[in-house]
Amino acid sequence: MDRFELVRASFEKKAVAAENPAMKTSDYFGELVFDRAKMHKYLDAETLAAILKCIDEGGALDRKTADGVAKGMKAWAIEHHVTHVTHWFQPLTDGTAEKHDSLIDYDGKGGVIEKFDGKMLAQQEPDASSFPNGGIRATFEARGYTAWDPTSPVFIQDDTLCIPTVFVSYTGEALDYKTPLKRALKAVSDAAVPICQLFDKKVSKVYSYLGWEQEYFLVDEALYAARPDLMITGRTLMGHNSSKNQQLDDHYFGAIPSRVASFMRDLEVSAHKLGIPVKTRHNEVAPNQFELAPIFGETNLANDQNQIVMNLMNMLARKHGFVVLFHEKPFDGINGSGKHNNWSLGTDTGVGLFSPGKDPKSNLQFVTFFVNTLAAVQKHNALLKASIASATNAHRLGANEAPPAIVSAFLGKTMTDVLHKLLEVPSDTPIEIAGKKGKSLGLVEIPEIFLDNTDRNRTSPFAFTGNRFEFRAVGSYANCAGAMTTLNAAVAEQLREFKAALDAELASGKKLEIAIMDTLKPIIKSIIDVVCFDGNGYSDEWQVEAKKRGLDVETSVPEMIKEFTTPDAMKLFTSTGVYTEKELEARNEVKWETYSKKIQIESRVMVRMATNHIIPAVLEYKAKLLKEVALNKEIFGSTEGCEVELEIIGKINRFAAEIQEKATAMREARKKANVLESEYDKAVAYHEIAEDLAALRRPIDKLEEIVDNKMWPLPKYRELLFIS
In the list Mg ion, ligand ADP, none, the entry touching 716 (Cβ below 5 to 8 angstroms by class) is: none
Applying CB under 5 A, the site for Mg ion has a residue count of 1
What is the distance between the alpha carbons of residues 668 and 673, in angstroms, rounded to a whole number? 9
Q: Considering beta carbons, is residue 131 or 290 the nearer one to ligand ADP?
A: 290
Residues 6+ apart with CB under 8 A from 141: 129, 170
Q: Is 452 in the site for ligand ADP (CB under 6 A)?
A: no
- Closest distance to ligand ADP from the beta carbon of 470 (Å): 6
Q: Considering beta carbons, is residue 340 or 697 the nearer one to Mg ion?
A: 340
- Closest distance to ligand ADP from the beta carbon of 208 (Å): 9
* Biggest distance spanned by C-alpha atoms of the chain: 106
Give CA separation, 560 vs 400, 545, 652, in Å. Answer: 19, 20, 40
Q: Considering beta carbons, is residue 32 or 402 the nearer one to Mg ion?
A: 402
3-state secondary structure of 572: helix
Write the DSSP string, 165-191: EEEEETTS-B-BSHHHHHHHHHHHHHH
Q: Is 352 in the site for ligand ADP (CB under 6 A)?
A: yes
Amino acid type, 69: V
What is the distance between the alpha carbons of residues 498 and 521, in angstroms, rounded to a whole number? 11
Give CA separation, 626 vs 638, 650, 707, in Å. Answer: 13, 11, 14
Q: Is 403 in the site for ligand ADP (CB under 6 A)?
A: no
Q: Considering beta carbons, is residue 340 or 549 the nearer one to Mg ion?
A: 340
Half-sphere exposure of 387 (CA within 13 A, CB side): 30
**Own/partner long-range contacts of 423-428 (Cβ < 8 Å, ≥24 apart):** 423/521, 423/524, 423/525, 423/528, 427/513, 427/514, 427/517, 427/518, 427/521, 428/511, 428/513, 428/514, 428/517
Q: Is 344 in the site for ligand ADP (CB under 6 A)?
A: yes
Applying CB under 6 A, the site for ligand ADP has a residue count of 14
3-state secondary structure of 399: coil
Q: Considering beta carbons, is residue 112 or 449 the nearer one to ligand ADP?
A: 449
3-state secondary structure labels for all residues of 64-79 = HHHHHHHHHHHHHHHH
Applying CB under 5 A, the span of 335-343, 428-436, 473-481, 674-682 interacting with Mg ion comes to 335-343
Applying CB under 6 A, the span of 77-85, 338-346, 603-611, 681-689 interacting with ligand ADP comes to 338-346
Binds ligand ADP (CB under 6 A): choice among 83, 93, 123, 467: 467
Binds ligand ADP (CB under 6 A): choice among 293, 317, 532, 572: 293
Q: Is 342 in the site for ligand ADP (CB under 6 A)?
A: yes
Q: Is 340 in the site for Mg ion (CB under 5 A)?
A: yes
Could you tell me which residues are beta bridge partners of residue 358? none
Write the DSSP string, 654-702: HHHHHHHHHHHHHHHHHHHHHT-SSHHHHHHHHHHHHHHHHHHHHHHHH
95 to 114, contacts with Mg ion by CB under 5 A?
A: none
In the list Mg ion, ligand ADP, none, the entry touching 468 (Cβ below 5 to 8 angstroms by class) is: ligand ADP
Neighbours of 179 (CB within 10 A): 25
In the list ligand ADP, Mg ion, none, the entry touching 595 (Cβ below 5 to 8 angstroms by class) is: none
Applying CB under 6 A, the span of 108-116, 287-295, 315-323, 327-335 interacting with ligand ADP comes to 287-295
Q: Is 450 in the site for ligand ADP (CB under 6 A)?
A: no
Q: Considering beta carbons, is residue 352 or 535 the nearer one to ligand ADP?
A: 352
What is the distance between the alpha carbons of residues 352 and 358, in angstroms, rounded to a whole number? 12
Q: Is 586 in the site for ligand ADP (CB under 6 A)?
A: no
Q: Considering beta carbons, is residue 247 or 454 the nearer one to ligand ADP?
A: 454
* Residue with nearest beta carbon to ligand ADP: 211
Q: What do you get for the CA distance between the two ends of the chain, in Å?
A: 20
In the list ligand ADP, Mg ion, none, the entry touching 321 (Cβ below 5 to 8 angstroms by class) is: none
Q: Considering beta carbons, is residue 47 or 465 the nearer one to ligand ADP?
A: 465
Helix axes of 178-197 and 360-379: crossing angle, nearest 10 degrees: 140
Applying CB under 6 A, the span of 65-73, 263-271, 289-297, 379-387 interacting with ligand ADP comes to 289-297
What is the distance between the alpha carbons of residues 255 and 87, in angstroms, rounded to a whole number? 40
- Closest distance to ligand ADP from the beta carbon of 293 (Å): 4
Counting Cβ atoms within 10 Å, is residue 455 exposed (0-12), middle (13-18) or buried (19+)? middle
Applying CB under 6 A, the span of 170-178, 341-349, 580-588, 677-685 interacting with ligand ADP comes to 341-349
- Closest distance to Mg ion from the beta carbon of 382 (Å): 24
341 to 370, contacts with Mg ion by CB under 5 A?
A: none
Helix then strand count (H, E) for the chain reads: 24, 19
* Residue with nearest beta carbon to Mg ion: 340
170 to 209, contacts with ligand ADP by CB under 6 A?
A: 209
Q: Is the peptide bond before 180 cis (omega within 30 degrees of 0)?
A: no
- Smallest CA-to-CA distance from 610 within 546, 551, 655, 556 is with 655
Q: Considering beta carbons, is residue 397 or 480 the nearer one to ligand ADP?
A: 480
- Closest distance to ligand ADP from the beta carbon of 343 (Å): 6
DSSP 129: T
What mask of x and - would describe binding to ligand ADP in positions 209 to 228, judged by CB under 6 A? x-x-x---------------
In the list ligand ADP, Mg ion, none, the entry touching 204 (Cβ below 5 to 8 angstroms by class) is: none
Interacting residue ranges for ligand ADP, rule: CB under 6 A: 209, 211, 213, 280, 293-296, 342-344, 352, 467-468
Interacting residue ranges for Mg ion, rule: CB under 5 A: 340
